[in-house]
Amino acid sequence: MVAAFDGEQLLAELDALGAIGWKPGAGLQRMAYSDPDLEARRWVLAQMQALGMQAWIDPAGNVIGYLPGGEALPALAIGSHTDSVPGGGKFDGALGVLAGLACVRTLRSQDVQLRHPLLLIDFAAEEATTSASPTGSLSFVGGLTQTALDGPGWDGRSTAALLADRGFDVAAMIANRPPMPIAAFLELHIEQGERLASAGVPIGVVEGIVGIRRYYVHFQGQANHAGTTDMARRRDALVMAAPFILAVRDAAVAHGIVGTVGRIEVHPNAPNVVPGRVTLDVEIRGLDDAVLDRVETILAAEAARCEGRLHFGHRKEPVLADPNLMAAIERGCKALGLRTMRLPSGAGHDAMNLAAICPYAMIFAPSEQGVSHAPEEWTQPHDCINAGRALLAALLEVDAMLDA
Ligand SMILES: [Zn+2]
């Protein structure tokens, strides 16, 4: 069955879809609800229809294709997104949607009907170019709020204003729900890191999407003349902050997570003034809440030791993948002779929203040199094809495994 998977067609479609909104020298410009984004969605809709799927666009702009199942069971859903960041690459999201089309093409060409109905979904506005992102999948699961849409979108206006301008009915987006009960969601996506490529492993099995915790740390010193203030008499807020920044890195390394000081504000930020006040943003990401708790305690203690004050910011819980679905992916890959490796996802994906309504699992394809959200983003052709075959094998495994 998987032997009939048409890899060449998948590669041709990656090129065709990748040309929509591609600007030479500037990469993919398919920001959510922009003209090229809507054109790409209509293209996906037409591909679904050409494969004999019943297909429609829901109130959020999600493109949904449907194949009936052979038994009275809830649906299996597969898919990803086709919107991009400004200056993105042609694999992020698109590979998952096109591999889904390739799976449907294989099923049709082999005259195979799954036991479960199948939904193939191209989610809208996955990238953080709109507030409430991933917006399309959040709307799909019924989690979208007006407040979230009042935040800024990529064109400077609120997301709600951008949507209204494009003819979307915001109230209908908020009232949106899945079209039918869903038993499981499988998302294929590029890794966007370099663990698979550097290990030479073709398939990643995602253990979960990491939790994110952000903190703001304030260091209060004393601004003073940089020429006349003796070194011994200074209260330099940036010097106070420096050991804390190193402590963030050390705590992350020691606990096997990632930690970043990505933004720093120095007052008054002048070359001839001793810094009087520093504010920095810290974020840590990891899969295990207990580990994040431990690092959080260390960071609070380190901030105090450096005479800083740590404040709590935004927090997102880890979203773990379903062990049975992970095992199904691994069984499917084993039968195909494809090596797999378990790994966390450091980036958010549509799957984390789907987790609110059903179990999920994700397949990662290798990203060359870990480059993503850039025009140079690249996944080797054979890796794209293998990931698509792995998706089909996993889908068949899950279809056989789940009786509800
Ligand atoms: Zn993506």
pLDDT digits (tens, 9 = 90+) for 27-71: 999 999 999 999 999 999 999 999 999 999 999 999 999 999 999
CA of 349 to the centre of ligand 1 (A): 6
Q: What is the mean pLDDT of the chain?
A: 97
pLDDT (average), residues 307-335: 97
326 confidence band (pLDDT: 50, 70, 90):
very high
Fold entry, domain 212-314: Alpha-Beta Plaits (3.30.70)
CA of 215 to the centre of ligand 1 (A): 25
Q: What class does CATH assign to 2-209+318-401?
A: alpha beta
CA of 81 to the centre of ligand 1 (A): 6
Question: What is the pLDDT, as a whole number, of residue 61?
Answer: 97
Question: What is the pLDDT, as a whole number, of residue 282?
Answer: 96
CA of 241 to the centre of ligand 1 (A): 34
CA of 277 to the centre of ligand 1 (A): 37
pLDDT (average), residues 16-37: 96
| 74-95 pLDDT, tens digit each | 999 999 999 999 999 999 999 9
Q: Which residues surround ligand 1, an ion (CB under 5 A)?
A: 92-93
Q: What are phi and psi of 195, to 5 degrees?
A: -70, -45
CA of 136 to the centre of ligand 1 (A): 13
CA of 395 to the centre of ligand 1 (A): 20
Question: What is the pLDDT, as a whole number, of residue 403?
Answer: 92
155 confidence band (pLDDT: 50, 70, 90):
confident
CA of 212 to the centre of ligand 1 (A): 17
With a pLDDT cut of 70, the percent of the chain lying above it is 100
130 confidence band (pLDDT: 50, 70, 90):
confident
Alpha-carbon distance of 265 to 275, in angstroms, equals: 10
CA of 353 to the centre of ligand 1 (A): 13
CA of 78 to the centre of ligand 1 (A): 14
Question: What is the pLDDT, as a whole number, of residue 131?
Answer: 84
CA of 93 to the centre of ligand 1 (A): 4
Alpha-carbon distance of 255 to 313, in angstroms, equals: 21
CA of 367 to the centre of ligand 1 (A): 12
| 163-172 pLDDT, tens digit each | 999 999 999 9
CA of 271 to the centre of ligand 1 (A): 41
| 270-301 pLDDT, tens digit each | 999 999 999 999 999 999 999 999 999 999 99
Residue 7 has pLDDT above 90, yes or no: yes
The torsion region of residue 238 among left (phi > 0), alpha (psi -120 to 50) and beta comes to alpha
2-209+318-401 and 212-314 in the same fold: no
124 confidence band (pLDDT: 50, 70, 90):
very high
25 confidence band (pLDDT: 50, 70, 90):
very high
CA of 126 to the centre of ligand 1 (A): 7
CA of 167 to the centre of ligand 1 (A): 25
Torsion angle of C-alpha atoms 246, 252, 255, 257, degrees rounded to 10 = -170
CA of 193 to the centre of ligand 1 (A): 12
CA of 220 to the centre of ligand 1 (A): 39
Ranking 105-109, 312-316, 334-338 by mean pLDDT, the lowest is 312-316
CA of 94 to the centre of ligand 1 (A): 8
What are the sequence ranges of the domains in the chain? 2-209+318-401, 212-314
Question: What is the pLDDT, as a whole number, of residue 156?
Answer: 87
132 confidence band (pLDDT: 50, 70, 90):
confident
404 confidence band (pLDDT: 50, 70, 90):
confident
| 194-206 pLDDT, tens digit each | 999 999 999 999 9
Residue 327 has pLDDT above 90, yes or no: yes
CA of 36 to the centre of ligand 1 (A): 17
| 359-381 pLDDT, tens digit each | 999 999 999 999 999 999 999 99
pLDDT (average), residues 388-404: 97
CA of 155 to the centre of ligand 1 (A): 20
CA of 310 to the centre of ligand 1 (A): 32
CA of 180 to the centre of ligand 1 (A): 24
